[in-house]
Structure 1
Amino acid sequence: MNHRILGLTVRNFRTLTETKLPLGPLTVMVGPNAAGKSNVLHALEFLGDVARHGIEPALDERGGFDVLAFRGGPKPVARIAIGIEGIWSAYASAESPDRYELRVLQRRLPEPRERKRVLFRQEWFIQHPWEGPPTSVALMSDQLTVNSRLEGDRADDPIDIERMASGLHQHMPLPRNSPSAHSMGEISRHLEQIRVFDPDVRAAREPSPISDDGRHLENDASNLADFLKTLRDVRDKEKDGRRGIWEALLDDVRTVIPQIQDIHLVDVPGKAGYISVELEETSLRGRTRLQDASFGTVRLLCLLAIFHDPNPPLLTCIEEIDHGIHPHALELLAGRLREASRRAQFLVTTHSPAFVDELKPEEFVVCERGPDGASIIPALTTDEVRERIEASEGMPIGELWFANTLGGGL
């Protein structure tokens, strides 16, 4: 099954007071600084942390409810809500998607403890594990309720659970073969894979230990050398054992950085089990250590590495994808990103008109910030974007955006 997220709904999470964002294979957000683009990524990252660690640890990691809740308006908000719709169960579709929503509410206790506040969780799973009507699982306060016609979901009475327990993170006391419980697990596994990729160039330059974890590039790219070794060692059975992924990666690097002729992965003297990256450059004797390479070279290598990942997470978020990258390299990056989006979803932000020029209207999202401090995302529908492109007689999207014809300007 092709699991994917079709849309994100956020209420009162930082500046996202009423955001409903469709998500395709590739979604690129543009707009001025502080428009709320990063908050969209962080809302998804928050759900991922709930799935991995639970609601309260995810809140504590970010400073608590008061830090995450929208701080505009005449009085503090008492509810944060994040919901997604997508395809996870057997009979879900784009027309009848599965849905998940998490609400975290903060309430004051009655007298004499009215100054003390307590958090409550409300959680809903609506799923399609069979051809009939959808099933639902609701976690309200300290009870779990199942609404389903399926025998395997049978739970005649509400089930007692902890007040802040999450169906994403904890095993729920449902029958072992419950179809709804299985669908809940599929959503959780999807959200656990969400990553916000933000390469730390200084960390990426350093040698890294060789380990089984090298199959996945860390969110900060601190294991870049180990991950490159993984890509180099993948052999294509249909092409006589050739290292097709590695050869394609090298071709891309040579295209955007012509001075680089080859990439070498070498053992680190005096550090058993560590590997480092060295670059072979035209007209230079010896090799250049990655520690001595430019910021843009290292970051470009990190990005190309994830675009060539044969087993990517189901959703990768990248902030400011153009940061440190020469404009002439952005066309290739956009192409590789679109190819990678055939295997997994990508949600990225950019400030580069040159990168936006490579996009399709359905991949492009304008973000703005209203006078009340709330984000407006999307500021235009896809149909409105198409209409303005047609009115301009086919000008590239990036040029229209830079001219503020599509909004999202200063």
Structure 2
Amino acid sequence: MNHRILGLTVRNFRTLTDTKLPLGPLTVMVGPNAAGKSNVFHALEFLRSVSEDGIELALEGRGGFEAVGFRGGSRPVSRITIGIEGIWSDFASKEHPDSYELSVNRRRVPTRDHVLYRQERFTQHPRQETETSLNLKSAAAEINSSLAADVLKGTTDLDRMASALHQPLPWTADSPTAHAVEEIRRHLSGIRVFDPDVRAARKPSAITRSGRHLKDDASNLADFLKTLRAIRDEEGRRYIWEALLEDIRAVIPHIRDIHIVDTPGTYDHLSIELEEEGLRGRTRLEDASFGTVRVLCLLSIFHDPEPPALTCIEEIDHGIHPHALELLAVRLREASRRAQFLVTTHSPVFVSELTPDEFVVCERDADGASRIPALTPDEVREVIEASEGMPIGELWFANTLGGGL
């Protein structure tokens, strides 16, 4: 089954006061700085943190309710809501999607200034033509299911901030709804917000079991490339590694080869060295340009054979030559056939490679609230037709589609 997120709904989280963002295989957000694009990533990261650490730690790590809640308007907000629709249970579909919604509420009480409590709702389709739901409110958990195996063995001591996304409830064995809840937890905990730290990526990386996955900051780049290089097909070809090298040579023609070597003076660290046309010896990645390292990081995740269900990339064009962006757009779309990608860009060149369904305009109103999306795909198509087929990137750069300064 193709697990994926179909849409994100956010209310009163930072500048996202009423955001309903559809998510396809590839979604690219454009707009001015501070329009709210990064806050979409932060909302998804928040759900990831809830699944890993629980609601209270997820809030504390972001400065608390007041820092996370929308700070515009005449009064502080009393509720923050983040929800997703998607396909993660066995019989969900676009027509009958699963859903998860978390609300964190703040209210005044006589004995203290404020108290926080959560409301949590899961909806899933674990059997054909069967929808079940799980609701958590205050100390109560309510299951609505016609399936005999869906039974809770008691939740009398449920904390008002406990999350079923983080802490499993006492289900009976083989509960279909419990399995569906675990699937959404696994889905959200695997979200990758990829923001390569070029300085960290340049450095040697330790050889670890986590080398199968490139870290969010690309600090284990050498270890991950070792993994890609080791993968072979039935005929013994290093097909992923050769495809990656071909792409690198296409956008940085003077690179002939990439070598992964033991780091001098250590026995458990690897380094990356570049073999370059016209130069004697090799160039350490530590001495390579910012753009070279960033291109290598991006192309590496596009060739990842085991990508997480959703990868977010901030400013995909940062430090990249415009001609290289065309290839990155092609590889990104190919990678989106295996997993979802949500990215931001400020490059008209990159935007011109997109379709209206992949293109999301982001704007911010005078009251401080974001409008995402500011246009529907049909409205984008109307503008393109009226312009007699001008590229989306040119229309956006001319501010015809909005999302300008």
Pick one of 286, 290, 298 that aligns with 1:295.
290
Q: Check the 8 A contact 1:145/1:159 in 2, yes or no.
A: no
Question: Is residue 264 from structure 1 mapped to residue 264 from structure 2 by the alignment?
Answer: no
Pick one of 122, 125, 129 that aligns with 2:122.
125
The 5 Å alignment of 1:231-246 reads 231-237=228-234, 240-246=235-241
Question: Is residue 373 from structure 1 mapped to residue 368 from structure 2 by the alignment?
Answer: yes
Match of 1:154 in 2: 151
Pick one of 342, 347, 355 that aligns with 2:350.
355
| 1:159 positional shift | 4.9
Question: Is residue 227 from structure 1 mapped to residue 208 from structure 2 by the alignment?
Answer: no
Match of 1:86 in 2: 86
List 4+ stretches of structure 1 deviating above 2 A.
154-160
Q: What is the distance in 1 between the residues matched to 2:36 and 2:264?
A: 46
| 1:53 positional shift | 1.1
Q: What is the distance in 2 between the residues matched to 1:214 and 1:131?
A: 39
| 1:91 positional shift | 1.3
Q: What is the distance in 1 between the residues matched to 2:70 and 2:120?
A: 20
Question: Is residue 401 from structure 1 mapped to residue 396 from structure 2 by the alignment?
Answer: yes
Q: Check the 8 A contact 2:203/2:219 in 1, yes or no.
A: yes
Match of 1:13 in 2: 13
Q: What is the distance in 1 between the residues matched to 2:286 and 2:91?
A: 50
| 1:316 positional shift | 0.4
The 5 Å alignment of 1:242-253 reads 242-253=237-248
Question: Is residue 314 from structure 1 mapped to residue 277 from structure 2 by the alignment?
Answer: no
Q: What is the distance in 2 between the residues matched to 1:377 and 1:224?
A: 33
Pick one of 203, 208, 227 that aligns with 1:206.
203
Amino acid at match of 2:185: S
Q: Check the 8 A contact 1:121/1:163 in 2, yes or no.
A: yes
Question: Is residue 49 from structure 1 mapped to residue 44 from structure 2 by the alignment?
Answer: no
Amino acid at match of 1:355: F
Match of 2:66 in 1: 66
Q: What is the distance in 1 between the residues matched to 2:170 and 2:321?
A: 54
1:363-403 CA-partner distances (Å, limit 9, x unpaired):
00000001110000000001101111111111100000001
Root-mean-square deviation over aligned CA pairs: 1.1
Q: Check the 8 A contact 2:12/2:81 in 1, yes or no.
A: yes
Amino acid at match of 1:39: N
Task: Give the structure-1-normalised TM-score.
Answer: 0.97
Match of 1:164 in 2: 161
Amino acid at match of 2:278: S
Change (3 A) 1:151 1:200: same
Q: Check the 8 A contact 1:144/1:160 in 2, yes or no.
A: no
Amino acid at match of 2:103: R
Number of corresponding residues: 405
| 1:135 positional shift | 0.7
SS state at 1:191 partner = helix
Q: Check the 8 A contact 2:259/2:273 in 1, yes or no.
A: yes
Q: What is the distance in 2 between the residues matched to 1:127 and 1:391?
A: 42
| 1:318 positional shift | 0.3
Q: What is the distance in 2 between the residues matched to 1:299 and 1:253?
A: 11
Amino acid at match of 1:130: R
Q: Check the 8 A contact 1:321/1:350 in 2, yes or no.
A: yes
Structure 2: where are the runs of 5+ without partners? none
| 1:181 positional shift | 0.8
Q: Check the 8 A contact 2:155/2:169 in 1, yes or no.
A: no
Q: What is the distance in 2 between the residues matched to 1:222 and 1:158?
A: 42
| 1:116 positional shift | 2.0
Amino acid at match of 2:276: E
| 1:130 positional shift | 1.6
Pick one of 277, 285, 290 that aligns with 2:280.
285
Amino acid at match of 1:331: E
Structure 1: where are the runs of 5+ without partners? none
